[in-house]
Structure 1
Amino acid sequence: MAVEGDVVRVGLIGYGFVGKTFHAPMIVATPGLDLAAVASSRADDVHADHPDVDVVDTETLLARDDLDLVVIASPNDTHRPLAEAALTSGHHVVVDKPFMVSLEDARAVVAAAARHERIVSVFQNRRWDSDFLGVRQVIDDGLIGDVAHFESHIDRFRPTPRDRWRENPGPGAGLWFDLGPHMIDQALVLFGLPDTVTADFGYLRPGSQTEDWAHVILDYPHRRVIVHGSLLVAGAHTRFVVHGTQGSVVKRGSDLQEARLKDGVAPGSPGWGDDPDDLILYDADGASSTMPTPPGDQLQYYRLLQRAIALGDPNPVPPHQALGVMAVIEAAVTSARTGRRTELALTADERALWS
């Protein structure tokens, strides 16, 4: 299977919220990507949005030899079998977060990609959120010195549990597997692998069957990174709080790209990634100032992926980074169950790739 010119033909598995709202619009908006087929039982929904796209079942999509890339946006517990099948049939693969439901599954899929000489990547779109890019710029420019305390929140207000796979008991369900991968990935991009992980999970809403509150600390020698998510936060949101040896930075408002996608705004439209909420900086004397937040651009993930497939450029989220995030997810689950600090279950070779 060869890529004709620079055009990468894409098959998308799943047209629920994630496939419909994130992947399909971004694929269509990315030069050099062609959304050719969708595997879904919702043919009417797909054709309402993309009239010229083939709607097929999953087996048919995986068997097509005119597709270069398969994007998996199906429930978490299907990620491994679908990824392995797609790689075996010769396709490059993108998996929505979380990559897998266990580190064991993640290693198996990474090994399959290596055997078949295909790219496997994780859709870590929030690396290109405005809020994260702004905080990263402050850190990289040394405006607050060396970071000692980094706090990341993704909160929602959903006081009534829903009857859906994400909130029903099962592999890969619950808030931690839903929101945790975003916050972990951002932390690892900034600081690398932690030494240990300390976690506490809660079931705070009446009727919750999976955790709806997670507080996780990534332990570094001279730094603590807190990632926190809750489904019972109606207001007073603060996305990031970062304290350094020379000052602090606060980012209150969240990136707006998801909200714009939900409203049907096409990715890359004028003003697409703009964020009117400024960063707030505090100097060593406690005096405050503001700094504009740079625009976000989650399309950058698919732009880089297209170049990786068509031109041999680097994978935007390579396998060792996918394994690192899964190791932290799994360590947090163990820590929450045992009440102990937990080391990452990575091999020496897997750790070495981070250096």
Structure 2
Amino acid sequence: MAEQKQQQRSNSTPTEPDRSERTIAAPELPYRPSDPPGYRPKIGLIGCGGITGQHLDAYRNAKYDIAALCDVVLANAEKRQAEYFPKADVYDDYRKLLARDDIEVVDITTHPDVRPPLIEAALEAGKHVLSQKPFVLDLDEGERLVELATKKQRLLAVNQNARWAPHFSYAREAYQAGLLGQLHGVHMAKRWDHRWVEGTPFEKIKHLILYDFAIHWFDFVNYLLDKEKPLRVFATTTRTRDQKLMPALSASVTILYPHTQVTLSFDAATPFGEQDETYLAGSQGSLRSTGPDERNQAVTLFTTEGIAQPKLEGCWFPDGFHGSMGELLSAIAEGREATNSGAQNLTGLATCFAAIHSAETGEVVVPGDVRSLRKSSR
């Protein structure tokens, strides 16, 4: 193959450079979070746990109007009030927040076990809703909430914040702009040390990697291949020889689409040489993103015109949280469905459920066949 390519080069005219190796300017793509001009509704936050610092930091930077904070432990709401939005009101009863006519949008950040009734109550109260991920533990329940949102003419979106991580967002935009042609393969590998969860509630999640962590990767693939339906999933998990945590720290997933192969690989007990890589292989171009972690990535775009290396701005945290809420607000202002809608999110969730069931049983699973996650399988 190398000799053949060399022969082709020797037969070309001296003035004709190989375009596939030419350095070109990076295409300007709309990968950054955006907001609707002039629309800043009052927003209420239900649940003021640890991750909400990222939410509120992003919202403060975006100059959103956070009017109320609520948590069953009032001190948690008061802490977030003091840190981010001193003028916001605080509650320990979400019903008081939902009773306010001036609040149009509610961000619900509680754990998934208790979230569906809160989403339902918010929709019934006429609020638009941004749900924390994973959206639901039961696909039928998710579909019911989506139907309720439609009935109430409210928008229900999911905080799949990885979609607005700069490298993921640029990759998606490059594909949607036609720069890669038809996707043949999507291959993602992450090698890092997730043992920081020892001594936290996370270490009690049986499928910590596939469920709580990899949901971002399942969602990215689902959004990227939104026009295709995943056909089959096969997944494995393995405990490392020296791990002390209950959940397995190594996992791999293969997802077959009609014309695209997807592989996901997770090595969560890697204390040295951490690496995060994404590769999109297409008929007209490819894209590679790599770095020591998901927040520090260098992107290279290979096209028929040459090689580009965009210098991306921003970082997953907090840009991803800005992007999720910004997309919901834009959809409200423009009278359309949000791209991170609850309905769109269900396919990625179904793929996640299928992967977990596959890892449990050793079987190939069709996404959608597994409708619910029992507590024991999470």
Q: Give TM-score scaled by structure 1 length.
A: 0.78
1:242 to 273, 280, 289: 280
Greater relative CO (CA pairs within 8 A, separation 6+): 2
Counting aligned pairs with the same residue, the percent is 28
Letter in 2 for 1:206: Q
Q: Which residue of 2 aligns with 1:133?
A: 169
Deviation at 1:132, TM superposition (A): 1.4
Q: Which residue of 2 aligns with 1:279?
A: 299
State the SS of the aligned residue for 2:358: helix
State the SS of the aligned residue for 2:162: helix
Report the Cα distance in structure 1 between the residues aligned to 2:267 and 2:363, rounded to whole angstroms.
22
Q: How does 1:194-343 map to 2 (within 5 A)?
A: 194-204=230-240, 206-234=243-271, 235-245=273-283, 248-253=286-291, 254=293, 256=295, 277-280=297-300, 289=307, 291-296=309-314, 297-298=319-320, 299-343=322-366
Report the Cα distance in structure 2 between the residues aligned to 1:99 and 1:27, rounded to whole angstroms.
21
Report the Cα distance in structure 2 between the residues aligned to 1:176 and 1:108, rounded to whole angstroms.
25
Letter in 2 for 1:182: H
Q: Which residue of 2 aligns with 1:36?
A: 67
State the SS of the aligned residue for 1:187: helix
Q: How does 1:22-61 map to 2 (within 5 A)?
A: 23-31=55-63, 33-40=64-71, 41=73, 42-49=76-83, 50-59=85-94, 60-61=96-97
8 A contact 2:158–2:324 mirrored in 1: no
State the SS of the aligned residue for 1:207: coil
State the SS of the aligned residue for 1:343: coil
State the SS of the aligned residue for 2:150: helix
Report the Cα distance in structure 2 between the residues aligned to 1:134 and 1:123, rounded to whole angstroms.
18
Q: Which residue of 2 aligns with 1:96?
A: 132
Deviation at 1:346, TM superposition (A): 7.2
Report the Cα distance in structure 1 between the residues aligned to 2:102 and 2:286, rounded to whole angstroms.
52
1:185 to 219, 240, 246: 219
Letter in 1 for 2:107: V
C-alpha RMSD of the superposition: 2.9
Q: How does 1:45-124 map to 2 (within 5 A)?
A: 45-49=79-83, 50-59=85-94, 60-124=96-160
**Residues 137-177 of structure 1: per-residue CA shift (max 9 Å, x gap):** 5545665554322112345313354233333148xx72222
Report the Cα distance in structure 1 between the residues aligned to 2:197 and 2:221, rounded to whole angstroms.
28
**Residues 207-253 of structure 1: per-residue CA shift (max 9 Å, x gap):** 32334333111102332111233421332403212334466532112
State the SS of the aligned residue for 1:132: helix
Structure 1 unaligned segments of length 5 or more: list them.
Answer: 257-274, 348-355
Report the Cα distance in structure 1 between the residues aligned to 2:175 and 2:110, rounded to whole angstroms.
35
Report the Cα distance in structure 2 between the residues aligned to 1:48 and 1:309, rounded to whole angstroms.
29
